[in-house]
Structure 1
Amino acid sequence: MSDENRPHIPVLLRPLLGAVSPISGLWCDGTFGAGGYTRGLLDAGAARVIGVDRDPSVFEMAKAWRDAYGDRLIAVEGTFSEMDTYAREIAPEGLDGVVLDLGVSSMQLDQSERGFSFMREGPLDMRMGNTGPTAADLLNTADEGEIADILYHYGEERASRRIARAIVAARPLETTKQLVAVIEKCLPRPKPNQSHPATRSFQAIRIWVNDEFGQLIEGLEAAERALKPGGQLAVVTFHSLEDRVVKRFFLARSGRAAGGSRYAPQQDAVEPAFELRTRKSVGPDEQELQDNPRARSAKLRVAIRTEFNPAPTPREGLGLPAPVLKGDR
Structure 2
Amino acid sequence: MKNFKQLAKNVIEIEQQAIAELIEFVDDNFELACQLMFHCTGRVIVIGMGKSGHIGGKIAATLASTGTPSFFVHPGEASHGDLGMVTSNDVVLTISNSGETSEVLAIIPVIKRIGAKLISMTGNTESTLAKLADTHICIKVSAEACPLGLAPTSSTTATLVMGDALAVALLNARDFTAEDFALSHPGGSLGKRLLLRLNDIMHQGDRVPIISESALIKDALVEMSLKGLGMTAIVNEQQHLVGLFTDGDLRRVLDNRIDIHSECINTVMTHNPSVAQSDMLAAQALKIMEDKKINGLIIIDSNNKPVGAMNMHDFLSSGVL
After TM superposition, the score normalised by the length of structure 1 is 0.27
- Relative contact order (alpha carbons < 8 A, sep ≥ 6): 1 or 2 greater? 1
Question: Which is greater in Rg?
Answer: 2
